[in-house]
C-alpha cells in the first residue's frame, strides 16, 4: 500500500512523540512493503504563532487530501491568555467537524507488565484489562439546543440531549464492526429507564444489532456501567454510548490502566480518513527534555493501521513490539518503577523499532 498521511505534530511534547511514531511507521513500511508519505501541517499553538489561527485552511485541506491524520498534542501556557475560540485546543474541535468524525474510540488496555500502575485491587486487574469505549462525538447534549430563561426558581439554564435515528445507527455500526475485530461483544450504555433520548437510542441499537447476529449485545444503565468498570472491567469488550456518557466513561476506563502516556485514541467518520492521537496533552512541563512517553502515539498509529487501512498484522506487530519492550523492563519516567530501566523518548522509540525486527 502507498498511504499519504497528514502529520500534525502540534505543541509541547507533540513533535517529540510524533518523530518516534513516524519512525515506527517507516519501520513497518519497510518490513511489510508499504510506503508512507508524510506531509506535515501546523495545528494548535504552533499554527497560531505562524499564521494567527489554530487551524489554518491549509491544514484542513491537507488533512482532507490525505488518507488519514496523525496528531501529536496541542496547547501550552503561551496561549492560555487567548479567548476560548482562539485557543490551540480549538484545532481539535475544528478538525473533528471539518473531517466529519463522529466516532471516538478510546481503548483502555492494562499491560500485565504495568499492572502495579492500576489503581484497582490486584485480583481484579489480574489477567489484564482490554476495554474499547466507542463514544458518539458530534451529537447529544454537547451540541444540542441550549440557553437561559426564567423558571420557577429564577433564571435557569438548559442543555438539550437529542439524538436522531441516523446518528445512532452509524455509531452503533461502528461499535459492532469494531467488536467483530475483537471479542464480538458490545455493551450498549444508556439511561433508558429515565431518558426518552436513551429509549430511542436503545431501540436503534437493537435494530442495528439484527445486522450483526454474530456479535453479542448487552445493555447497561450508565450508573451501573460506571460501577462495573471498577468492579469487574473484564466483563467488557466494546462499550458504545452517547457523547456525554462516553466523555465520562472513557476517562474512567483510562484511569484504571494507570498511565496517560500509554493511551491512544481514534476519531472516525464515514470514510477511512480518521484522526489518530494520544489522549494526553502537550505536557509543557516535560517538553523538549526527551522525557515524554511516545507509546500512546505509537499505539495510535497502530490503531490507524487497523481501523483506517485494515492492516491488522501490522497493527498487532506494533502492539506486540510495545509489549516486548515493556516486558524487557524499559520505562519512560511516567511509568517508571523500582528495578526497571529508565529511558528517554528517543530510546523508547528506538527500542520499539528494534523489537519490530
Enzyme catalytic residues: 142, 191, 223, 247, 251
Question: Least distance (Å) from ligand NAD to the CB of residue 321?
Answer: 17
Question: Least distance (Å) from ligand NAD to the CB of residue 3?
Answer: 23
Using CA atoms, how far residue 120 sits from 109, 255, 266, in Å, is 13, 10, 26
Strands 154-159 and 146-151: antiparallel
Question: Least distance (Å) from ligand NAD to the CB of residue 197?
Answer: 27
The residue range among 21-29, 68-76, 125-133, 348-356 that interacts with ligand NAD, by the rule CB under 6 A, is: 68-76
Burial classification of residue 219, based on how many CB atoms lie within 10 Å of its CB (0-12 exposed, 13-18 middle, 19 or more buried): middle
Residue of 23, 260, 336, 350 that binds ligand NAD (CB under 6 A): 260
The residue range among 119-127, 166-174, 200-208, 275-283 that interacts with ligand NAD, by the rule CB under 6 A, is: 275-283
Closest CA to 225 of 133, 108, 139: 133
Q: Encode 187-200: b = buried (16+ Cβ within 10 Å), e = exposed.
A: bbbbbbeebebbeb
Is 92 a binder of ligand NAD (CB under 6 A)? yes
Using CA atoms, how far residue 127 sits from 103, 124, 250, 328, in Å, is 28, 8, 21, 19
- The contact mask relative to ligand NAD for 174-193 (x = CB under 6 A, - = no) is --------------------
Q: Closest CB to ligand NAD among 233 and 281?
A: 281
The residue range among 162-170, 185-193, 209-217, 273-281 that interacts with ligand NAD, by the rule CB under 6 A, is: 273-281
Is 274 a binder of ligand NAD (CB under 6 A)? no
Is 285 a binder of ligand NAD (CB under 6 A)? yes
| The 3-state secondary structure of 255-293, one letter per residue | HCCCCHHHCEEEEECCCCCCEEEECCCCCCCCCCCCCCC
* Residues at the contact surface with ligand NAD, assessed by CB under 6 A: 13, 73-76, 89, 92, 260-261, 277, 280-286, 292-293, 296, 332, 334
Amino acid at each position: 500500500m502507498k498511504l499519504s498521511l497528514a502529520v500534525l505534530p502540534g505543541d509541547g511534547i507533540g513533535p517529540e512523540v510524533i518523530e518516534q511514531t513516524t519512525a515506527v511507521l517507516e519501520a513497518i513500511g519497510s518490513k511489510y512493503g508499504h510506503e508512507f508519505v508524510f506531509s506535515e501541517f501546523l495545528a494548535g499553538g504552533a499554527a497560531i504563532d505562524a499564521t494567527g489561527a489554530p487551524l489554518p485552511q491549509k491544514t484542513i485541506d491537507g488533512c482532507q487530501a490525505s488518507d488519514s491524520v496523525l496528531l501529536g498534542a496541542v496547547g501550552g501556557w503561551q496561549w492560555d491568555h487567548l479567548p476560548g475560540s482562539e485557543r490551540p485546543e480549538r484545532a481539535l474541535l475544528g478538525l473533528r467537524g471539518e473531517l466529519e468524525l463522529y466516532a471516538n474510540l478510546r481503548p483502555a488496555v492494562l499491560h500485565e507488565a504495568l499492572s502495579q500502575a492500576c489503581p484497582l485491587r490486584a485480583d481484579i486487574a489480574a489477567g489484564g484489562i482490554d476495554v474499547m469505549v466507542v463514544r458518539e462525538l458530534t451529537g447529544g447534549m454537547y451540541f444540542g439546543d441550549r440557553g437561559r430563561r426564567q423558571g420557577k426558581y429564577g433564571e435557569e439554564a438548559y442543555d438539550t440531549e437529542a439524538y436522531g435515528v441516523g446518528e445512532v445507527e452509524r455509531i452503533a455500526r461502528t461499535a459492532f464492526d469494531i467488536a467483530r475485530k475483537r471479542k464480538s461483544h458490545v455493551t450498549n450504555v444508556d439511561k433508558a429507564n429515565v431518558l426518552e433520548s436513551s429509549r430511542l437510542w436503545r431501540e436503534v441499537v437493537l435494530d442495528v444489532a439484527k445486522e450483526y447476529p454474530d456479535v453479542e449485545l448487552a445493555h447497561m444503565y450508565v450508573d451501573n456501567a460506571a460501577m462495573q468498570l471498577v468492579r469487574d472491567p473484564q466483563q467488557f469488550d466494546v462499550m458504545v454510548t452517547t457523547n456525554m456518557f462516553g466523555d465520562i466513561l472513557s476517562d474512567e476506563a483510562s484511569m484504571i490502566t494507570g498511565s496517560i502516556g500509554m493511551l491512544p485514541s481514534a476519531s472516525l467518520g464515514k470514510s477511512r480518513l480518521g484522526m489518530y492521537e494520544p489522549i494526553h496533552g502537550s505536557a509543557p512541563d516535560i517538553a523538549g527534555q526527551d522525557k515524554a512517553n511516545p507509546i500512546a502515539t505509537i499505539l495510535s498509529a497502530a490503531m490507524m493501521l487497523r481501523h483506517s487501512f485494515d492492516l491488522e498484522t501490522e497493527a498487532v506487530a506494533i502492539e506486540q513490539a510495545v509489549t516486548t519492550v515493556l516486558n524487557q523492563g524499559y520505562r519512560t519516567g511516567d511509568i517508571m518503577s523500582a528495578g526497571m530501566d529508565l529511558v528517554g523518548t528517543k530510546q523508547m522509540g528506538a527500542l520499539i523499532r528494534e523489537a519490530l525486527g
